[in-house]
Amino acid sequence: MFARLQALTADSRATFWRSLQTLNATRVVIALVLLVYLSFDSRGLHAVDQYFYLKICLAYLGLSIGFALSAVYVQRRFSVQLLSQIACDLAIISVLYLAGGGMRSGLAILYLFPLAGLAILAPLVIALFCASLVTLFLLGDSTWQIFLTDSDRDVMQAGLYGAAFLSVVLVVNRMAAKLIGQEELASRRGVEINVQQAVNRLVMANIGDGILVVDADGRVFAGNPAAQQMLGLVGPELKFKLSAAASLSPLTQAYEEWRDDATRSTAFITIKPFNDAALEGLTAAWSARRDLAAHLKVRFAAADTDGLGAERSVIFLQDVTGIENQAQQLKLASMGRLTASIAHEVRNPLSAIGHATSLLGEDLSDPVHQRLLKIVGDNVARVNRMVEDILQLSRKVQPHSEPLALDVFLAELRSEFIETHNLAPDILGLTAAADTQVRFDALHLREVVLNLLNNAVRYASGGPASIRLNVVRDSAQRLELHVQDDGPGISPEVRAHLFEPFYTTSSKGTGLGLYLARELCLNNEARLDYEYRFDNKTGADGSPSLSGRFVITFAWPGQKQGKAV
């Protein structure tokens, strides 16, 4: 009978219980009105004394209060509560109707209250059934009064009341059903909208492309994490104008050009936020920003907000740095294969040249000849080292996956490096927590760290702790090894080509050391990068002094805390 109530959503069922509570509150008010009014005006009562009538009204008030409390604290078996309350209403109103003298008492109008409530909360069949019972009761009593008073006027009034009750029940029930259906539809649509919003938030948070929502003046209203990361706005609340940040001027200019000419919806820009002092108040990310420049593909689109009184545009940001790097890697891979084949062919004649130079050195004693032979020997060694690097890079040896005790490894490497290079004991500082393990091949890590330390020795001042090895954890709890010296930082121009093969700023270098180090890190699921950071010192022009450090971020997960093995 009330199966449709069970099929409704929780919000719609809660609406039914609130409606029943409202009906109960109205019942309490009617009981009070009857008790106050009719107890002082009992002239219309026939054959029933005032004391009995007061008892009926008090009983009705008590039942009304009980029903109200039950609907609030015992929200179970809705149909039982509703039908029992309506039955009580009809019974008590009928007693009062008869005690008041029938149709002449005017109490027949009270039937409208429970019948209307039943029409709202119950199916139409039940509501019409109860209205028909009330109509038959009124007609029966009026017919009986004909035999007592010889007047048929009450029958006509009873018929009119009955027709009114049936009409009211039919109209109210249909209107209530329509409203309930609309509420149910709105509730389901609300659930769908909330689910869609949750999905949209998830997509916005995890999509690789950046999204910014701006108005006509370039004021940012919203943005996803990818856009914040691309523009260096990680952390601040996105409530600012694009033109307020000097580093975002390429984006501001592209946005203004699109507004002037809608056909220019796509642009390629480069953002360099690391040297924008105006953004220091927005985020602290600049103090440890590794990406010096972000190469972005920008696309603009206008949202359809006609008639809403607000203009919004969406800026789509795509970081094409990865695509450029991928293209560069493909080019380098093909070049590497060619170079490896050439290096393999060069190795044999190079060995012959080196051997012949050694034999000549035994026979020639003239200083000029010795100097020329030394030049030949040094260049042979340099070329041979380049060949070895190329061949090692092309082999891509699979790393060992056993855990490596990083603190023990670095301590031994530090002692060996100081002894090999004849350095002061305090020149190389080491900070590493005990029992720290990483997943990295020991031979590979040794080669990477030695390469970075050799570069550091070349530029460090040589004072105490001028070279530092620090093991720290990043925000994601991954272990990082920082290799830093007190020498000048690498310029942004050099940094852009730092890890490219055969690129070097030293006349004695091969340009393969850092490239090989990064490849070995990638081979061990780690990452090698050069990180800029601002010191508290300032340069000659008053700008923050810029220094840097090499950072090895080890694979995660893969670190285990425990005894070194």
Residue 199 domain flag: no
Residues 375 and 448: beta-carbon distance below 8 Å? no
User: What would the two tokens of residue 286 be?
Assistant: 């600049």
Residue 223 domain flag: yes
Residue 563 domain flag: no
* Gap between the Cα atoms of 243 and 220, Å rounded: 10
* Gap between the Cα atoms of 324 and 500, Å rounded: 13
Closest-CA residue to 163 (of 126, 108, 118): 108
Single-letter amino acid, residue 556:
W
* Gap between the Cα atoms of 44 and 100, Å rounded: 6
Residue 241 domain flag: yes
The residue among 472 and 307 whose pLDDT is bigger is 472
Residue 222 domain flag: yes
In this structure, the answer to whether residues 213 and 344 fall within a common structural domain is no
Quick check: bond before 557 cis, omega within 30? yes
pLDDT at 367: 82
* Gap between the Cα atoms of 79 and 2, Å rounded: 7
pLDDT at 424: 86
User: What would the two tokens of residue 69 be?
Assistant: 């409390």
Total domain count, the chain:
4
User: What would the two tokens of residue 538 be?
Assistant: 């300032």
Backbone conformation region of residue 289, classed left if phi is above 0, alpha if psi is from -120 to 50, else beta: beta
In this structure, the answer to whether residues 166 and 314 fall within a common structural domain is no
In this structure, the answer to whether residues 313 and 371 fall within a common structural domain is no
> Which residues fall within 8 angstroms of residue 13, CB to CB, at 6 or more apart?
5
In this structure, the answer to whether residues 181 and 66 fall within a common structural domain is yes
pLDDT at 49: 54
Of 142-156, 302-316, 538-552, which has the strongest mean pLDDT? 302-316
State yes or no: pLDDT of 400 exceeds 50.
Answer: yes
Q: How would residue 280 be classed by pLDDT, with cut points 50, 70 and 90? A: very low
pLDDT (tens digit, 9 = 90+) per residue, 326-359? 766 676 566 666 666 766 677 778 788 877 888 7
- Of the listed ranges 2-16, 273-287, 323-337, 389-403, the least confidently predicted one is 273-287
Average pLDDT of span 169-193:
81
State yes or no: pLDDT of 243 exceeds 60.
Answer: yes
Q: How would residue 226 be classed by pLDDT, with cut points 50, 70 and 90? A: confident
State yes or no: pLDDT of 547 exceeds 80.
Answer: no
State yes or no: pLDDT of 282 exceeds 50.
Answer: no
pLDDT (tens digit, 9 = 90+) per residue, 460-498? 888 888 888 988 887 667 788 899 888 877 777 777 777
**Domain edge (last residue) among 375, 395, 415:** 395
**Coil vs helix vs strand at 84:** helix
> Cα–chain-centroid distance for residue 516?
37
User: What would the two tokens of residue 469 be?
Assistant: 């090895």
Residue 561 domain flag: no
In this structure, the answer to whether residues 533 and 428 fall within a common structural domain is yes
Residue 145 domain flag: yes
pLDDT at 393: 58
Own/partner pairs, 333-342, CB within 8 angstroms, 24+ separation? 335/501, 336/390, 336/393, 336/394, 336/501, 337/394, 339/390, 340/390, 340/391, 340/393, 340/394
In this structure, the answer to whether residues 142 and 221 fall within a common structural domain is no
Percent of the chain at pLDDT exceeding 70 = 76
Single-letter amino acid, residue 79:
S
**Domain edge (last residue) among 334, 369, 395:** 395
pLDDT at 396: 55
In this structure, the answer to whether residues 328 and 312 fall within a common structural domain is no
The residue among 13 and 211 whose pLDDT is bigger is 211
Residues 147 and 159: beta-carbon distance below 8 Å? no
State yes or no: pLDDT of 541 exceeds 80.
Answer: no
Question: Which range marks the domain in which residue 387 is found?
Answer: 324-395
List phi, psi (to 5°) of 354: -65, -40
Average pLDDT of span 451-465:
85
In this structure, the answer to whether residues 148 and 244 fall within a common structural domain is no
Query: Would you give the end-to-end CA distance of the chain in angstroms?
Result: 73
In this structure, the answer to whether residues 329 and 300 fall within a common structural domain is no
CATH of the domain at 344: 1.10.287
> Which residues fall within 8 angstroms of residue 281, CB to CB, at 6 or more apart?
none
State yes or no: pLDDT of 65 exceeds 50.
Answer: yes
User: What would the two tokens of residue 94 be?
Assistant: 């009928």
* Gap between the Cα atoms of 121 and 19, Å rounded: 8
CATH of the domain at 522: 3.30.565.10
Biggest distance spanned by C-alpha atoms of the chain: 158
In this structure, the answer to whether residues 80 and 98 fall within a common structural domain is yes
In this structure, the answer to whether residues 142 and 20 fall within a common structural domain is yes
In this structure, the answer to whether residues 172 and 224 fall within a common structural domain is no
pLDDT at 402: 74
- Using DSSP bridges, classify how beta strands 544-553 and 479-485 pair: parallel, antiparallel or unpaired: antiparallel
**Domain edge (last residue) among 348, 375, 395:** 395
Burial of residue 553, with CB atoms counted within 10 A of its CB: 0-12 exposed, 13-18 middle, 19 or more buried: middle
Residue 203 domain flag: no
Residues 220 and 212: beta-carbon distance below 8 Å? yes
